[in-house]
Amino acid sequence: MPEDRPLTGNMRPDGEALDRAAYERVGGYKGLRKALGGMTPAAVIDEVKASNLRGRGGAGFSTGLKWSFVPATAPHPRYVVANGDEMEPGTFKDRLLVERDPHQLVEGMILAGYATGSDTGYIFLRGEYKLGARRVARALAEAYEAGYLGKDILHSGYSFEIHLHLSAGRYMCGEETGMLNALEGKRANPRAKPPFPPVSGLFGMPTTINNVETLCNVPHIIRNGAAWFQGLSRSKDGGTKLYGASGKVKRPGLWELPMGTTIREILEEHAGGMRDGVRFRGLLPGGASTDFLVEEHLDTPMDFSEVQKAGSRMGTGTMIILDDQTCPVGMVSNLEHFFAQESCGWCTPCWSGLGWVERILKGMEEGRGQPGDLEKLAFQTRFWAPGHTFCALAPGAAEPLQSALKYFRAEFEQHINEKRCPWK
């Protein structure tokens, strides 16, 4: 394994998935053997805590800390859920992981299950990831066959089952409590917190939910130790990160790089810079629900705290690049249309506000912008502040809009004043 790219360094160049034997050859399931062979669950949690692994779904919460929230006395069955409902626009990192190295996820889940004393795991996978689903299913079968899953794993006395569940397909299914409802066969509406999932989660039982990429890091941390993992990073947050870029760059793609690699490096070295004839205008650093950053932020290291300081969130770490040939209002309109469409319809600020914002932006694009529209848009972004709404969907939708109003205000005004989209 190329030491600096634990997540992707072992992937086959031909695009096929690593099977169990290949995965084992590069050190696969050694972490699991190590944990079951002598580490207590608490020791596994401590190792993960010490590694500074932070949640890769976007919120960046300490994984080890999250695992410690399931009390030792909590009732059974307890669940681990891998959130693979990768619906965030512009994000395709978990797809790579499930398609190319599914055993890495399986091992990570078993370790999470062992650490939290869980009995059953669910992989909640985006429904469109059909190839990934086939490969995960195969990996699960292989893991059962080899005794990594099922009763009395590796004769340790620990038992753990994993089920694969394909999402019926809504953005809300990726919100962790909406996902629990979806798994239970209910509308994917979010749940009130507290109680948090470690107390009352799937089927009312203690539940630990982690993103696919987060879980994929765990086998390496256990095998190689927290210090090694921290050492991979250029920042306080441990490990590597799958960074991506889409938009009019020369080489859109996905790269595993040290945590804290700067935006400029990702954009210019790995994505090859902007295509000829187009100029960089801004970017969403980690999916549609993050604030725009612009030229002045290009030297920001991509980690959870530095991007926050710059006024956005690292989110999923997969950037969407805006160029000068693309209408920023049109881009925001498209994003807000997505969010409006995906609102579950539960809380008023979200379902009503997004529908309104969607129409205002569409109107602007079609030359029907009105004086006062910008105030209405700005008002809605404040209306969607975290805590005002039931879950993070609308606050996420506020981020590209509020930052676009800040950085591209002139373009919005131009739409209203000229009653047309200057890019059309």
Partner 1 sequence: MNMATVYVDNRAYEMDEKQNLLEGCLRLGMDLPYFCWHPAMGSVGACRQCAVKQFRDEKDERGRIVMACMTPAAAGTRISIRDPEAVEFRKAVIEGLMLNHPHDCPVCDEGGECHLQDMTVMTGHDYRRYTFEKRTFRNQYLGPFLNHEMNRCIQCYRCVRFYREYAGGNDLNAFALRNIVFFGRDRDGVLENEFAGNLVEVCPTGVFTDATLKRHYTRKWDMEMAPSVCVHCGLGCNITAAGRYGTLRRLVNRYNGEVNGYFLCDRGRFGYEFVNSERRIRQPLIEGKAVSAEAALARLGELTSGRVIGVGSPRATLESNFALRAMVGADRFFAGISGTEARLLKLMLEVLRGPARTPSLREIEASDAVFILGEDVTNVAPRMALSLRQSVRQQPMEIAERLHIPVWMDHAVREAVQEKKGPLFTASVSATRLDDIAAGTYRGAPDDLARLGFAVAHALNSEAPAPAGLPESARDFVKEAAEALKAAKRPLIVSGASLASAAIIEAAANVAWALAGSMLAFTATESNSMGLAMMEAPALDAAQAAHADTIIILENDLFRRLPEAEQFLERFRHVVVVDYLENATTAKAELVLPAAPFAEADGTLVNSEGRAQRFFQALPPPAPVKESWRWLGSWDKLDDIVEALARAIPPLAAVTRAAPPASFRMSGAKVPRQPHRYSGRTAMLANISVHEPKPPADPDSPLAFSMEGNPDQPPGALQPFFWTPGWNSIQAVNKFQEEIAGPLRGGDPGVRILEAGEGTPRFFEDIPAAFEPRAEEWLVVPLHHIFGSEELSRHAPAVSQLAPPPYIALNPEDAARFGDEAEMLGQRFPLKRLAELPRGVAGVPAGVPPFAGLEFPMWSRILQAP
Question: Residues in the site for partner 1, rule: CB under 8 A?
Answer: 170, 172, 180, 187, 191-192, 194-195, 199-200, 203-204, 340-349, 351-356, 359, 363, 370, 372, 376, 379, 383, 385, 387-390
Strand partners, 209: 81
Contact 266, 243 (CB under 8 A): yes
C-alpha to C-alpha distance for 366 and 326, rounded to whole angstroms: 15
Which tokens hold the place of 260? 């804290």
Smallest separation, CB 322 to partner 1 (Å): 26
Q: Looking at beta carbons only, is 1 or 378 nearer to partner 1?
A: 378
Smallest separation, CB 340 to partner 1 (Å): 6
Smallest separation, CB 292 to partner 1 (Å): 24
The Cβ of residue 173 has, within 10 Å, a number of other Cβ atoms equal to 25
What stretch of H or E contains 253?
A: strand 253-258
* Nearest residue to 285 (alpha-carbon basis) of 234, 258, 255, 246: 246
Q: Looking at beta carbons only, is 40 or 341 nearer to partner 1?
A: 341
* Sign of the torsion formed by the C-alpha atoms of 394, 282, 53 and 18: positive
Smallest separation, CB 252 to partner 1 (Å): 30
Q: Characterize the bridge pairing of strands 253-258 and 240-246.
A: antiparallel
Smallest separation, CB 358 to partner 1 (Å): 9
Smallest separation, CB 401 to partner 1 (Å): 16
* Nearest residue to 8 (alpha-carbon basis) of 218, 241, 211, 303: 241
Residue that has been written with the tokens 């080890």 in this structure: 64
* Nearest residue to 390 (alpha-carbon basis) of 349, 339, 336, 337: 349
* Nearest residue to 148 (alpha-carbon basis) of 24, 18, 29, 40: 29
